[in-house]
Structure 1
């Protein structure tokens, strides 16, 4: 019941964000500022406090990296097969990308931190870093290639070097591996800042959701939902169970892969010639349905 209550609370905050957007209170400018606070301050703080007292050798392993790549690339391959005959390249490219591109930063890691212990959260931070390095370039390349987009993706890829998620993960793992002591006051302040990552992110996601039921392609959207929030976590469970990883690693990876499609895929679709309306519908559908599937996943993991 505790898990259900927590997820219902998340749904309330998500709906609140959508309501504030509909009322005009959370317009584009305010949503952008909230996004900046969440992405550049709260989320990096959460990642740092989750990893600064952990040595990199305890968190990063060959089994973890190999398993993450297998789950991501197999899901992307299945998405290619399932969506290969969509009626337009713009819709096909978006469907493929949104079937594997997870909302690990704005929903996955904050949800893990609010639900599980510090060890699981630390591993989830590493999952976020590793997958970001792979899924972001993969999504940009697929969208630009399939749509023949003229927009250069080099700037987006170069942005990985200054990505606050990756920088905070690197800082936390470096501090932990070197045994550097973080002042108590600083750690406490960062912990408080990190604790607002989830509500802030949910407000931003809610303010970004849009739906137009009459234009909805139920078959295509249903396939995206099935691949993203049913097939992907099930595959993660199978892969990491086969690798015989410990319980915290299994929990972190399965829950992270059970998250819905990232809102950023809508932005990428709009910039790189994808079907942006279809992308928005898929973000909405996967986010809404994931509130139920995440309850099942969290209840089942060790």
Structure 2
């Protein structure tokens, strides 16, 4: 029942965010401020406190790295096959991308931190870093290639060097590997800041969700949902079971890769010639469906 309560609470906060947008409380400017607070403050704090007591050798193993790449690339390949029949290149590119591009930062890591112990959260932070480095360039390539958009992959990769989420991950791993002691008051403060990452992220996701019913492509959206929150975690379960990793690595990987489509895919679609309305709908539906699928995943791995 504790897992049910947690996930129902997530749904409530998500819907509150939608309600606040509808009533005008969370307008565009305020939503952007909340997004900035979550992404630039709360999430980096959560990642750092999750990793600063562990060395990189304890967290990043060859099995974890290889398994994550196999799952992401396998899902992307299956998505390419599943959506190849879509006539619109703009819609096909978005469908492919949203079938594998996971919401690891806003929902995945905060949810893991709220549900599992510190060892699982630490590995989930590494999962976030590895998969982000894999799925971001892949998403840019797919959208650019199918839509003929002009995007500088080199510029985006350079931008990762200043990404606070990744910087906080590398800083935490460096501190843990060197063995530097962090004052307890600083650690407690960062922990408190990190704890607000999930509710703020959910409010932002809810405030960003919009549906234009006349434009709904039920078949295409259903295929995205089936691949993202249905098949991708199954592939992750199969791959990491075969690799015989420890329970913390298995739990973190399966749950993180079972998260819904990232909100950032809407931004990429809008900038690189994708179908932005279709992208917005898929973010909403995969997030809603994940309330059920994440409950199943968390119950199974627990």
Q: Same fold by TM (over 0.5)?
A: yes
Aligned to 2:32: 32
Q: What are the Cα deviations for residues 19-70 of structure 1, in whole angstroms up to 9, with x where unaligned?
A: 1111111111111111001000000000000000001111000000000000
Aligned to 1:103: 103
1:145, distance to aligned residue in structure 2 (A): 1.2
Aligned to 2:67: 67
Aligned to 1:163: 163
1:212, distance to aligned residue in structure 2 (A): 1.8
For 1:145 and 1:104, the matched residues in 2 are separated by 25
Aligned to 1:235: 235
Aligned to 2:143: 143
Please say if 1:294 is aligned against 2:294. yes
For 1:284 and 1:129, the matched residues in 2 are separated by 24
For 2:2 and 2:288, the matched residues in 1 are separated by 19
1:151, distance to aligned residue in structure 2 (A): 4.5
CA contact (8 A) 2:140 2:151 kept: no
Aligned to 1:56: 56
Aligned to 2:45: 45
- What TM-score does the superposition give when structure 2 sets the normalisation length? 0.99
For 1:58 and 1:152, the matched residues in 2 are separated by 35
For 1:174 and 1:154, the matched residues in 2 are separated by 26
1:109-258 equivalences in 2 (<5 Å): 109-258=109-258
* Deviates most, 151-160 or 163-172: 151-160
For 2:238 and 2:157, the matched residues in 1 are separated by 31
1:213, distance to aligned residue in structure 2 (A): 2.1
State the SS of the aligned residue for 1:261: coil
For 2:154 and 2:111, the matched residues in 1 are separated by 32
Q: What are the Cα deviations for residues 212-255 of structure 1, in whole angstroms up to 9, with x where unaligned?
A: 22221010000000000010000000000000001111100000
For 1:31 and 1:266, the matched residues in 2 are separated by 15
State the SS of the aligned residue for 1:18: helix
Q: What are the Cα deviations for residues 254-286 of structure 1, in whole angstroms up to 9, with x where unaligned?
A: 000110000000010000000000000100100
For 2:213 and 2:260, the matched residues in 1 are separated by 19
* Deviates most, 141-150 or 99-108: 141-150
For 2:194 and 2:11, the matched residues in 1 are separated by 20
For 1:3 and 1:199, the matched residues in 2 are separated by 16
1:159, distance to aligned residue in structure 2 (A): 1.1
1:76-91 equivalences in 2 (<5 Å): 76-91=76-91
State the SS of the aligned residue for 1:162: coil
Task: Pick closer, same or farther for the CA change 1:153–1:28 going to 2, 3 Å.
Answer: farther
Aligned to 1:16: 16
Report the aligned-residue RMSD.
0.8
Stretches of structure 2 that go unaligned for 5 or more consecutive residues are: none
